Copies of this chain bind each other. A is one copy, B any other.
């Protein structure tokens, strides 16, 4: 009993007296692979246990099409509707974690296991009640999501008769055997049966026909349907094959069932391969075929018969198939998927509780697009952050590109591009899926000379308004400027708007990365004019001085600052004007600033989380990503970091209620 290959449209031996079957071609479309990718990334992860999936086959193809078992997007949804006039088939998905497991998988044993279940369902009678049990398939896959290569091997198990099946009457077209009346009656009876059974297509059924009538029945009603022992028995199969001399694969297990069940009472059986084509709007089942075969008797013991079914690959040999979807995907979509992949892999094994969405959806405002701004932006991109906005008023100078990793030599020509715009453009070049914007503007600073002309005052007021709108529109504000005083106004606005502020500043070989204390929402504040979160005298005693300080009590960059705002850029020597720091420092501080943000966002209390200190390094970390410090102070010469915690200062020039309540415009507009 040989299979008729799809590749060869010519039967192996048309004159053979043994029945041959056309196997299924697996048709796994892009939607299927896409959904498998999503399942693997978000649900299965490292889970290799078998999964139930659902495919279907159609029997209305024009001739020339191979019989296909189709798996699409909906394969993973057991409740998904089956397309009209398609017959469902359930399968088992074995998706391996590695290519090695895929290759070394014991396919013989997988097939035997599946065949045995079919055999058991035949022996127990379950398949008679539910013929879908005969229609099962296996799918072995390995999804290389790094390259978008999908390896797979499809199997539609078919139990075999030891000596094949002898044909008694060769297949003929239904139109050559049935009258028009009979054909119409068959069509009507089939539709009614499907309707009665509530299915889109019935894979197997029983047929009794006379000159002017055709009656159908589901399998389970065999005994009542064929009452006469000597009566000719005709069985129907919903046949996906459209070859005129061969039935398709689904008939195979059905014949095993028939032989096992009725082999002792029937010598032969007539088979009607029901094929249901619509050509130019007219339904046509006349190309269905009908033939008679000898039903083998006494060929089965209790053990499961031999089974076949692994699909040949494109080269016609026994081996897996591979689909390279990277070639047919939009490169930009591919880039997005690839970036997501790297992030989602973190959730598989290392940090299953990681809530990526909180990070990816954080809208980040970067004030400063210099050494720190560039490194912060790059690390945010690595974390999949999609909304990144730069504010800077400088242009790119020749010394920048070697230290500011978003710029190149070309950006320095003709006076240099504005940094904020160039940085936003560069992010798009790195990853087209990012939503980046640049604002080439100054941040108004106290202590810096302002020419009190109407024009400059109007510009300063406009800049303040823009800055306020930007802070409003973002979730996290990064202070990455090169002066102390430029941090002041954004710190005040962000404090008044309760935005998470991450601040980074560099020395020569030291840095500070910190989150600002996040004030409680207004309704939670006390009415007291005094700063309610300032520690009382008793708080200042004992070793717990700086432990268990919640986010709303933490200080900001200015809390320890007793200096009145001034112009720190005036009278600076060249080494004070330039970023004179060890070149590795900005990368380290920039990366830590983002990692601090990520850790804080992962904490259930976010910016209100109790600050971790160096002492907490010994304790159980508060989030799966670790500590949520207030400050990280780094000392590159000692390759050391410490995690100080400091309280908000009730007279702070930036974050105390006196400032934030009166709100910053008072200090600018008056």
Contacts and interface: CB of A to CB of B under 8 A. Distances in A.
A412 B339 CA distance: 13
What bracket does the count of chain A residues touching chain B fall in?
35 or more
Interface in A242-292: none
Interface in A614-635: 614, 617, 621, 625-627, 629, 632, 635
Interface string A543-581: 000000000000000000000000000111111011110
Interface in A190-217: none
B643 A641 contact: no
Interface stretch (A3-11, A94-102, A115-123, A157-165): A94-102
A409 B97 CA distance: 28
Interface stretch (A12-20, A346-354, A467-475, A653-661): A346-354
B584 A509 contact: no
Contacts of A509: 625-626
Question: How many identical subunits does the complex contain?
Answer: 2
Contact of A578 (B98, B146, B594): B146
Contact of A331 (B382, B398, B629, B637): B398
Contacts of A640: 614, 617, 641
Interface in A582-596: 582-585, 587-588, 590-592, 594-596
Interface in A325-354: 326, 331-332, 334-335, 337-339, 341-342, 345-346, 348-351
Contact of A584 (B40, B594, B617): B594
Contact of A643 (B596, B627, B639): B639
A575 B144 CA distance: 11
Nearest to A623: B637
A450 interface: no
A402 B382 contact: yes
Given A338-B399, A382-B402, A409-B430, A145 B575 contact: no
Contact of A405 (B405, B572, B592, B639): B405
A339 B641 contact: no
A578 B342 contact: yes
Nearest to A380: B583
A46 B398 contact: no
Given A399-B341, A621-B638, A350 B580 contact: yes
A592 B582 contact: no
A401 B580 CA distance: 28
B641 A637 contact: no
B46 A575 contact: yes
A326 B331 CA distance: 41
A595 B401 contact: no
Contacts of A40: 574
A337 B342 CA distance: 40
Contact of A100 (B345, B508, B571, B587): B571
Given A509-B625, A578-B345, A584-B594, A573 B46 contact: yes
A591 B580 contact: no
A603 interface: no
A146 B639 CA distance: 30
Given A382-B584, A401-B431, A583-B591, 5 more contacts: A40-B574, A46-B575, A338-B398, A341-B399, A342-B402
13 contacts: A46-B575, A145-B574, A146-B574, A331-B413, A375-B587, A383-B583, A509-B625, A583-B591, A588-B588, A591-B591, A617-B638, A621-B638, A627-B638
Shortest beta-carbon contacts, A-B, top 4:
A626-B637, A382-B583, A584-B591, A338-B399
